[in-house]
Each structure stands twice: as C-alpha cells, then as structure tokens.
Structure 1
Amino acid sequence: MASACDMKNRIQGHPCFGGNHHKNGRMHLAVAPQCNIKCGYCTRKHDCANESRPGVTSRLLTPQEAIVKVREVMASPVVGPIIKVIGIAGPGDPLANEQTFETFELVKKEFPHLMLCMSTNGLLLPESIDRLYEMGLHSLTVTINAVEPEVGAQIYRHVIYHGHHYTGVEGAKILIANQFEGLKRAAELGLTIKVNTVLVPGVNDDQVPLIAERVKKLGAFVMNIMPLIPQAELAHIEAPDEQRLAEVRKANETIIGQFSHCKQCRADAIGLIGQDVTVGESACAVPPQA
C-alpha cells in the first residue's frame, strides 16, 4: 500500500483527486452503456445535451470512436494542453462493459503520458482489479453509499451479479462486500483511490462516518461526499443543502481527506471541472435500465 506522501505525488495533475483543477483538465469517454445495478437516484440517458450530472452523455462511443475523439481533443491548441486524465465513468458501470478495457488499451498505446482513471460501483472490482492494474490504471473511484446492507437496500433497487438478479438486503450485501474487497485489493496494488458517497438525507446519514473509517483503513486516499440529485425512485427526497453538505464533510475530514469541488460530471465531460467543453445539442432520450 502506497504512503500518503506517495499518493500526494501521484495525484499531481489529476483534478478529481486534489490536483490543481484550475489548470488541469480531464476527458471522460462514454463507452460503457450497460450497468449491473440500479441505484434509486439514477436515471441514465444516452442522448442528452441539456443535463449536467453522472449517467448522461450526448452519445455513446465505440472504443474506435473514442480514440478518434481523444486524438481530436489532444490536437486542439486550446483544450489539448490542459488534458491530463482520460476517464471512463459511464453512463453505465465501466466494469460491466468490455468496451472499457478496449478503450483503455487504445489510449494507453497512443497516449502513454495520460493518466487512466475509472469510476465504478465496485460490484465487479475484485475480479477486474488485476486486469486494470496490468493495463496501467492510475486512479480509481468507487461509489460506496452504505456499510450496512439494510441501508444499502433502501438505495439500490437491484444487483445483477454473474447472471443472477438480486434485490433488497441480499443484493446490497453482495455489492457492499465486493466494494470493500475490491478497494482493499486496489490499494494493495498501489492505486490512488477516491470514494464517492451520495448523501441521501434520512437514509444513509449515519453511514457516512462508517464508510469514511472503513475506506481509510483499507487504503483510500480521499472521500467525495456528494449531494443526492432527487430523481427516479428517490425523487421524493430533498437534496441536502450546501450547509448540510459542508457540515458532513467537516465532520469526516478528521477521518479521511475530503474532496469538495466535485461538480458531479457527465459521462462525456471534457475540460476543466466546472468549465466543460460543450458536447452535442441533441434532446434527451431515456435508454432501457439495467
């Protein structure tokens, strides 16, 4: 497991892990449409230009289209010089899509200086981490919203694992166990790890410090507590305001470092955080959910 000093050196240039986000940018490639869980706060859209949140993209890319897009962006005299990271964050779960691995291989071969980064729900992380490490993954984000399966069951509607469909506590138990096991193994391999936690008021408030303590012990570098975006099955829950969010972050910063400038980016975000390059102008369309 890498030391805190090593981690700080590794995140230099990575805007989503504490690097200078005012001058360093990232490029997300929307090559992963399928998802293997259903979060109660998630609505994925594959043809969307007017929303700015995780799970949406103007259009899906094949790995071949993705590398062409990377070439175009890196050739831009305006945007190219600021791009330090190539990330895959959806709109589904990257590990549920073989296209993720194909795309990383293409990018690593042609642009070896760029950091490879991925965001996942962690369900398939234990069985995928060695492959990711071997292809040069630099940074990993795992979204963990609960430690206790009974709480997770209120957030996750179902889990599809190795061809089987699980719901309720049973599904949440499998997901949570794999998240922590995968994170532990990733840390042992020396990857830089961020944990995203969606704060769902009245549901997982008391889980946040439990998550913070557990992931810090297992080797996570930083935590990103994000506000719920009320939609889908959790549309009836009011999002936490900035004051509440700040309180929760402060309460947990003594446990693990807190990331506070997240903008809950789209799956096709390009540029500086909060100053993305415009991507498409098509209307939104909802795809079939997992």
Structure 2
Amino acid sequence: MPKSFSELEKSHPCFGSHGATTGRIHLPVCPGCNIACRFCERSINTTENRPGVTAHVLKPEEAAEIVGKAIQISPEIKVAGIAGPGDTLASDNAFKTFNLIGQQYPQLIKCMSTNGLLLNERADEVIAAGIDSLTVTVNAVDPEIEAQLNDYIIWHGKKIDGVEGAKILIENQLAGIRKIAEAGITVKVNTVLVPRINGAHISEIAAAVAEAGAEKYNIIPLIPSAKLKDEPAPNCAEIEAARRAAGEYIELFLHCNHCRADAAGVPGKSDITRQLYAKIGPGSYGENFSHG
C-alpha cells in the first residue's frame, strides 16, 4: 500500500512543513521527453539549480548503485525520487529503476514527477511500481492557454501542436490524476506561473485538479528561459495572488525549492550530489535529450 499523506509529512522532506530532517535523492534516468514546454531547457551541467538540469544521465542499474552509495554517505535519505531530466513516463527507465530500488531498498519512499501526457494510459504501471507520491505538472486546463505554454506534444509517434495537442495533454492529465488518486496515491500538482499567460487561470486549474483527486497544489514561479526567456518572472504580489486564488479549492504546498534532477541530500542542509558523482562521467546516455 502507498504511504498515507500523514506518513509522507513525517518522512518526506518535500511534504514536511517544519523544516527538513530527512533527505531525498533524485535519480536522473529519464532523458527523453514527449512535450515541448516553451519555458523548459534541459541541460547537463553542474552549476544551475533548477528542474531539467543534471550533471549525469544514468541507466537504471547505475541509479540503484548510486542509491546505495547515497545512503552510506547520508543515512538521513528516506526518499528516492525520479523527476527527469525528461519525462518519467516517456520511457520505461523510471519503472525499471523503481523495480530495482524496491528489491534492494524497500524501506525507501518512492516518488516521481510527470507532465501527465501518458499518465492515463500508464496509471496501472505507476500503481504497480509502488509509487507513494506523484507530482503532475498542470499549467492550464484551457487548451487555448496551454497552447501558449507548450509548442507541441509527441503522441504515439505523432507530433501534434497548438490547441489540438494541448487538449489531448489536459484530458490525459486529469484522467490520469483521477486514476492515481483513486488508488490511494498522494497526488501533488505543480503549476508554472507565467502571469501574462496563466496568471488569471490559476483558480480554474486548482478547482479542476482538486476535483480529480489531487491533495496538494504547488505554484512554481517561472524561471525565464528557452522560448520564454524574455517573459518576466512573477513578482511577490503575483505569486501571492495566485496562491490566494488556488487556496480556495485545494491545500497549498508552500516550501518547494527548484531542485535539480540529480539533487541529493537533506534540502537546505546538505548536498551530497558532487560526492556521489565525483568518479563518473556524464552518464551512459550523454546528452541525448530527445523529444519522442
């Protein structure tokens, strides 16, 4: 059975609200992605602290070895998560990794993040993998708005752009959230706040994902990059307004950091990432950041 939300609050550093005392490790095993977000720029480097960035891309077997090393260095690690640098459902890498971790380190909480395009059709696999918490990024529930944030999707080998692609994405996100929530898995939704585009739409997103079964809602301020590099980041007033709008419908998640896809350690207290990867190269997949 997946961990309850109250259990996650006690052991998962991203869910506890009184300061992290436990650690997590993000395993960068998923380089490929199936949607083209206009603000996303995946990269291999050691300097940026944001989602979509990693110093290494690992095979599932390598990731399992890294988990063992991480626990030796930092016994406070209680969570193994997969958050990219691409999408976790765009390949089988996440499921292979969780299967290995489940066999070798069954005590660890397992969490993953996804854009949700394939969540509806792969929900049974997510449930079977023993995931305790799932984060889905939902940036709009209106296809006209989503189409301004996402250039296209890759859907069963076909590139679909504009409103048509956005409609497919949103339908699969909401249907997938519903399936996962009904299985008892805690669902958190992330929304990247781009005030000019979806700032006035936050209440609709929050209402829709709450109705589908999400328990927590996290507003992530835009980091201007890629095709939205000239878009201003939201200011404090805009973030607060978005939080007030969302809070009418769902419990807010207020202590998120922009974590890398290879982050490891106790958030805000220790970072063991460089220790983990000191003796290995850029990873078995190199810089193969494909869409497909």
Query: Counterparts of 1:100 and 1:90 in 2: how far apart (Å)?
Result: 9
Q: Which residue of 1 aligns with 2:272?
A: 277
How far 1:19 moved relative to its partner?
A: 5.5
**Which structure 2 segments of 5+ residues have no match?**
none
Aligned residues: 281
Query: Counterparts of 1:217 and 1:201 in 2: how far apart (Å)?
Result: 24
**2:170 aligned to which of 164, 172, 176:** 176
Return closer, same or farther for 1:225/1:20 CA change in 2, 3 Å cut-off. same
Deviations 1:74-130 (A, max 9, x none): 112xx12x2111000000001012111110000011111101100000001011111
SS at 2:123 equivalent = helix
* 1:164 lines up with 2:161 in the alignment: no
Contact 2:31/2:288, CA 8 A, preserved across alignment? no
TM-score scaled to structure 2, two decimals? 0.91
Query: Counterparts of 2:267 and 2:160 in 1: how far apart (Å)?
Result: 36
Alignment RMSD, CA only? Answer: 1.9
Query: Counterparts of 1:191 and 1:19 in 2: how far apart (Å)?
Result: 19
**% identity of equivalent residues:** 46
Deviations 1:39-67 (A, max 9, x none): 0000001x210000000100101111101
SS at 1:178 equivalent = helix
Return closer, same or farther for 1:61/1:286 CA change in 2, 3 Å cut-off. closer
Code of the aligned partner of 1:211: I
Query: Counterparts of 2:213 and 2:189 in 1: how far apart (Å)?
Result: 10
**2:71 aligned to which of 74, 88, 98:** 74
Contact 1:145/1:207, CA 8 A, preserved across alignment? no
Query: Counterparts of 1:242 and 1:22 in 2: how far apart (Å)?
Result: 24
Q: Which residue of 1 aligns with 2:15?
A: 17
SS at 1:261 equivalent = coil
Structure 1 segments, 4+ long, off by >4 Å, are: 280-283, 285-289
Query: Counterparts of 2:236 and 2:273 in 1: how far apart (Å)?
Result: 26
Contact 2:188/2:215, CA 8 A, preserved across alignment? yes
SS at 2:107 equivalent = coil
Deviations 1:209-229 (A, max 9, x none): 111111111211110000001
Q: Which residue of 2 aligns with 1:257?
A: 251
Return closer, same or farther for 1:213/1:225 CA change in 2, 3 Å cut-off. same
Return closer, same or farther for 1:27/1:66 CA change in 2, 3 Å cut-off. same
Contact 2:33/2:289, CA 8 A, preserved across alignment? no
Q: Which residue of 1 aligns with 2:148?
A: 154
**Which structure 1 segments of 5+ residues have no match?**
none
What is the correspondence of 1:213-252 to structure 2 with a 5 Å cutoff? 213-252=207-246
Code of the aligned partner of 1:103: T
Contact 1:17/1:222, CA 8 A, preserved across alignment? no
Return closer, same or farther for 1:95/1:20 CA change in 2, 3 Å cut-off. farther
What is the correspondence of 1:80-95 to structure 2 with a 5 Å cutoff? 80=75, 82-95=76-89
TM-score scaled to structure 1, two decimals? 0.91
Deviations 1:189-246 (A, max 9, x none): 1100100000011000122111111111121111000000100011111001233212
**1:141 aligned to which of 135, 157, 163:** 135
SS at 2:14 equivalent = coil
SS at 1:61 equivalent = coil
Contact 1:44/1:289, CA 8 A, preserved across alignment? no
* 1:105 lines up with 2:122 in the alignment: no
Deviations 1:140-190 (A, max 9, x none): 000000010000000001100111100000110100100000000001111
